[in-house]
Amino acid sequence: KAGVTQTPRYLIKTRGQQVTLSCSPISGHRSVSWYQQTPGQGLQFLFEYFSETQRNKGNFPGRFSGRQFSNSRSEMNVSTLELGDSALYLCASSLSGTIYNEQFFGPGTRLTVL
Amino acid sequence: DQQVKQNSPSLSVQEGRISILNCDYTNSMFDYFLWYKKYPAEGPTFLISISSIKDKNEDGRFTVFLNKSAKHLSLHIVPSQPGDSAVYFCAATNQAGTALIFGKGTTLSVSS
């Protein structure tokens, strides 16, 4: 069974640009969550999608958005990039999205904003 | 404000000894706790979990203890092995059960 895949693995952007990250969940998983990992803040929850609907959202500005497609693949978009957005962005998939179903993480996309 | 706190950024242990990683939380509504392990260049992987109705859960060399009154949990690894060297994250569910609230992690180094 293929794991969670994230593309691209590495990305370099400049301030003010926008970026789109992609996540393909494990086959059959309907929930996708996104997290931001930085050295100072650790892992922080961004949002969670289930069956194309955003069910839960963390405390991030509106520049961070996402969506989920009918095949459960998800994209995350960050507009008007700031230096502080440099981070490892992780997505995780699970069968139904409740924490009682284990979340499986992808390897992450390393975003560097110059 | 950090709702899940791992106050020790790093821990060094000798092979064969016990590793104890600690975690504190502030939200008394959390009812499910998990530990994840993360190697460099990989995503976190689930290690062990515990429900608030229990005070202990074991899985092989890994045991998690929960003290609800103190809002404290700990992960014990016995015996520690060099392959256990990684970043360990403590996490708790939000009330909806659809998101993980993570601590900042503790880097464990096990020397042979």
Taking an 8 Å cut-off on Cβ atoms, the answer to whether A56 and B94 are in contact is yes
Q: Find tokens 């706790």 and name the residue.
A: B33
- Who's near A101: CB < 8 A, 6+ residues apart? A31, A94, A95
Q: CA of A47: how far to CAs of A83, B6, B50, B104, in Å? A: 21, 23, 24, 18
| B41 has a chain A CB within 8 A of its CB | yes
pLDDT band at A1 (very low <50, low <70, confident <90, very high): low
| Interchain pair B46, A102: CB under 8 A | yes
Q: How far is A89 from chain B (nearest CA, A)?
A: 10
Return the residue in B100, B101, B106, B107 with the most chain A beta carbons within 10 A, the one to mutate for interface testing: B100
- CA B20/CA A114 separation, integer angstroms: 39
Q: What pLDDT digit, counting tens, does each position of A34-78 carry?
A: 999 998 888 999 999 999 999 889 999 999 999 999 999 999 999
For chains A and B, CB pairs below 8 A equal 64
Tens digit of pLDDT per residue, chain B (112 long)? 789 999 999 999 999 999 999 999 998 888 899 999 999 888 999 999 999 889 999 999 999 999 999 999 999 999 999 999 999 999 998 666 767 889 999 999 999 9
